[in-house]
Amino acid sequence: MSTLPTKKENQTVFDSEPGSNMYEYTLQLERVKTELQKFGVSPNQAKVYIYLGKYGPKTAPEVFKALDLPRTETYYILNTLQNHGIITSALTSPITYTALPFDKAISSLINAEKLRLDALSGQQKELSKIWDNIPQFVVQTNESSQEKLQMIQGIPQILSKTSGMINNAREEILIFGSEKDLSKLYHANIFDLLYNSILDVKVIVSPGQTLPEFAEKIDKRRIKLMPRSKKDNQCFIIKDQNEILMFLRNSNYISSDMFAVWSDSKSLTDAMHNLFEYSWDEAEVSF
């Protein structure tokens, strides 16, 4: 005789099913979990923080039972979150863990990242001096004339490359991507470089039904929509028809898993430039 699956004893918002009253909150918390990962917090660490933040102080056994996490991993996560400064522990028996208010937790993560970057910045001159003191041992070749390819993973590295391409552009910047892709560029202040640019800037939102709010400052003649497109996984950026940054994993993935390829291959850049121009002719104006 078949048996019905047993219902989990301690249901949480993470266990809600589509159509239930709690499912809307589940989707919102999934977005919060994804955003927390931008600050160096793993998916399970974000889940534990959210659970403590929404369900109040808990002991370690209560956490791993409610979230179905391995016992040893849960203790490691709780210690890591304490080191991040976003949860605290009470000197009780058993020990209970409490999440900091969300705004304070984010501030703590941001400050930690700033301190890390400041420390790296302080080492820059010393490392550069050491590097310059070491002679070059390479034999000079005509390598500069060879086409190059670079693999780039993670949104910070991709955005840094994008910013460099825009700053070094002399003629044009062409951007093709979904609203979610363009939102990433906007929040990284990439669009600030384009708003008053003298470059020939063209942006295609695909798929796109309406002009995204963050793109309102862009000259309407520079942006078009492709409402009939069914694909939201295509994104690429072309600089001066001599460099291309092409996303193999775009904003449909979490920030750490986003993956792009940069190249100065003329054949690849020309092909994608032709694709952009064809798409531009087929796209609709944004006003």
pLDDT per residue as tens, the chain (287 positions): 344 344 455 678 777 778 787 888 888 888 888 888 878 888 999 999 999 999 999 999 999 999 999 999 999 999 999 988 899 988 788 899 999 999 999 888 888 878 877 887 888 888 888 888 888 776 665 555 678 889 998 888 888 899 889 888 999 999 999 888 888 888 888 888 877 677 889 999 988 888 877 777 777 788 889 888 878 889 999 999 999 999 998 888 877 788 899 999 999 999 999 999 999 998 888 66
User: Considering only CA atoms, which of 221, 242, 218, 231 is closest in space to residue 181?
Assistant: 231
Distance, in Å, from the CA atom of 36 to the CA atom of 38, rounded to the nearest integer, reads 5
Give Rg (Cα) of the chain: 24
Distance, in Å, from the CA atom of 275 to the CA atom of 220, rounded to the nearest integer, reads 21
pLDDT value of residue 5: 41
pLDDT value of residue 2: 40
Architecture per CATH, 148-285: 2-Layer Sandwich (3.30)
Cβ 263 vs Cβ 150: under 8 Å: yes
Spatial CB neighbours of 39, under 8 Å, sequence gap ≥ 6 = 106, 109, 110, 113
User: Considering only CA atoms, which of 131, 124, 158 is closest in space to residue 258?
Assistant: 158
Residue whose entry in the numeric block shows the structure tokens 């009939």: 228
Give whole-number Cα distances, 78 to 13, 65, 86, 88, 132, in Å.
Answer: 20, 14, 10, 9, 43
Question: 151: which strand partners?
Answer: 261
Q: What are phi and psi of 110, to 5 degrees?
A: -65, -45
User: How is domain 13-102 classified at the CATH fold level?
Assistant: Arc Repressor Mutant, subunit A (1.10.10)
| Strand bridging mode 172-177 / 236-239 | antiparallel
What are the structural domain ranges in the chain?
A: 13-102, 148-285
Question: 224: which strand partners?
Answer: 204, 285
Q: Provide the b/e sequence for 138-159 (b: ≥16 CB within 10 Å).
A: eeeeeeeeeeeeeebeebeebb
pLDDT value of residue 141: 59
